[in-house]
Amino acid sequence: MTATPDQTEAVLARLAATETEARTGLFEFLSIPSVSAQPKHAGDCRQAAEWLRREFAAVGFEMQLHETPGHPIVTGYYPGPANRDVPHILFYGHYDVQPPEPLELWTSPPFTPTMVDGPEGMRVVARGAVDDKGQVMTFLWACRAWHEATGALPIRITLLLEGEEEVGSANLETFIESHKELLAADVALISDTGMWDRTTPALTTRLRGMVYTQIDLLGPDKDLHSGMYGGAALNPINALTRILGGLHDDQGRVQIPGFYEGVDELPPAVAAQWAALGFDEGAMLAAIGLNQTSGEVGRTALERLWARPTADLNGIWGGYTGEGAKTVIASHAHAKLSFRLVSRQDPAKILAGLKQFLAARTPPGAQVTVTEFGLNPAVEVAVDGPFVPAAEAALRDEYGKEAVLMGCGGSIPVVGVFKTMLGLDTILMGFGLDDDQVHSPNEKFDWTCFTGGARCHARLLGKLAAAR
């Protein structure tokens, strides 16, 4: 089977004719409270995994459910047309969702999907609407439309659908390591990212990495009376805040030794494209109650968000923090510190640089320990070769404009895992919006983004089939 423009048009027509059916299926999927973080929902996570196994099997996939120490992993395989060399994609998604609390802030029950009218049209409100059940459903619906309109899918497809993404994917790497042959493909495809806006498509080509740590500074062997010992005994809170206050200079640059090794400047073409987007930093700040910019001086807002590294204190504590007064010199102080990495920064070197930075500033009599909770490198997706251009063409055909090659301030660790363990680059083609309230009450997915996502996936399958 060679995909033709006429076949793609037939698939798109089938999508248009089955919107009601797709909404019914989406609502059924969203109604399953597959909260991976809460043990009481273990059965619901299994139900969501079984739902995916059943629905993809109905489209012709050979499906398997794999047990793990946590929630099941679902895989599937579609062989594609016989006797023809076609691309092979690995589609990744997750069926687990964040806890819905606080429940009182939802306008409707989080696992009772509701279609409501929004400022730009109808939207689906439910936990998991956009992260990631709705986006997985756009791919399922596209596959179903190809199956129903033409009798087959035009390329080879492997599915990898997990149930622990929202709790750190503790069992995913072990599974991938032991199933490399099962997961072999030419390129990975993930739909768990966003668009530039509701009429402008995007491919995410940059993901910042992460180093996450806890710093503990120990001083006296017990809490002390500040009147009896103040001025003579080391105060760990004073010491730690003084150290951490030196993380940045007056220009917003991080002072850890070797921190900017491997940080590349933006290619001029990318810088020009980002500048042309007309990003309104003032509006972004106003939406969160701020009116002054922050960060590295001399860099644009998008550059700071997508292409520059950061160091941020996420929490700091020690001593007495209850009501009223307690004049105490605490015996210890603590902080959570995270780094977002870009380009070729080495997470292990960043961690070593942090330890060097702390050791040089730790006062006599104090002990500092650093606990590492995660080291993930940044990812830059290769935009040459046949796959990203095929995605760009699919998005351009649907939206009538070029896709933005954008960055993402957050991290998607599985992208790095695919590269290091399977040798795969990843197409990050998502359809969420900044106002979707991911992880928050009243999470939503605009219906035009849902339908546009399905149509773009349908187009992409046709483009890939025609690429060889």
Does residue 263 sit within a domain?
yes
DSSP codes, 357-415: HHHHHPPTT-EEEEEEEEEE--EE----SSHHHHHHHHHHHHHSSPPEEEEESS--HHH
> Tens digit of pLDDT for each residue in 64-116?
999 999 999 999 999 999 888 899 999 999 999 999 999 999 999 999 999 99
Whether the predicted pLDDT of 467 surpasses 90? no
The answer to whether residues 181 and 49 belong to one domain is yes
pLDDT at residue 436, rounded to an integer: 96
* Confidence at 411, pLDDT banded by 50, 70, 90: confident
Q: Is residue 292 in some structural domain?
A: no
359 and 236 inside one domain: yes
Question: Percent of the chain beyond pLDDT 70?
Answer: 99
Are 457 and 387 contained in the same domain? Answer: yes
pLDDT at 243 over 90: yes
Would you say residue 274 lies in a domain?
Answer: no
**3-state helix/strand/coil string of 31-47:** CCCCECCCHHHHHHHHH
Residue 297, domain member (yes or no): no
For residues 227-250, average pLDDT: 96
Q: pLDDT-derived band of residue 383, with 50, 70 and 90 as boundaries?
A: confident
Q: How many domains does the chain have?
A: 2
Q: Which of 71, 43, 78 is nearest to 57 (CA)?
A: 78
Is the pLDDT at 4 greater than 80? The verdict is no
**Residue 111 has what pLDDT?**
98
Assess whether pLDDT exceeds 90 at residue 384. no
Q: Is residue 68 part of a domain?
A: yes
User: What CATH number is given to the structural domain containing 350?
Assistant: 3.30.70.360
Residue 112 to residues 212, 323, 437, Cα–Cα distance (Å): 35, 41, 17
Shared domain for 188 and 214, answered yes or no, is no
pLDDT of amino acid 346: 96
Which pLDDT value is given to residue 78?
98
Domain match, 200 and 250 both: no
User: Which of 376, 392, 407 lies at the terminal end of a domain, its last residue?
Assistant: 376
Same-domain check for residues 334 and 355: yes
Residues 138 and 263 in one domain: no
- Burial bucket for residue 226 (CB in 10 Å: 0-12, 13-18, 19+): middle
Sheet strands (E) in 31-145: 62-66, 73-78, 88-94, 114-118, 121-125
Task: Provide the residue range defining the domain that includes 345.
Answer: 209-269+306-376
User: Can you give the pLDDT at residue 336?
Assistant: 97
CB contact at 8 A, 72 and 46: yes
Do 157 and 42 lie in one domain? The reply is: yes
- Based on the fold, state whether residues 110 and 240 are members of the same structural domain: no
Question: Does any domain span residue 367?
Answer: yes
pTM of the model: 0.87
Mean pLDDT of the region 234-248: 98
Domain-located, residue 279: no
Q: Note whether 18 and 154 are same-domain residues.
A: yes
Q: Please tell me whether residues 363 and 425 are part of one structural domain.
A: no
The pLDDT of residue 2 is 60
**Where a domain ends, among 361, 376, 391?**
376
Supply the mean pLDDT for the chain. 95
Q: Which of 360, 376, 392 is the last residue of a domain?
A: 376
In a domain, 461, yes or no: yes
* Residues 132 and 175 both lie in one domain: yes
Distances (CA, A) of 430 to 95, 179, 448: 16, 26, 13
CATH number for the domain including 86? 3.40.630.10
3-state secondary structure of 150: helix
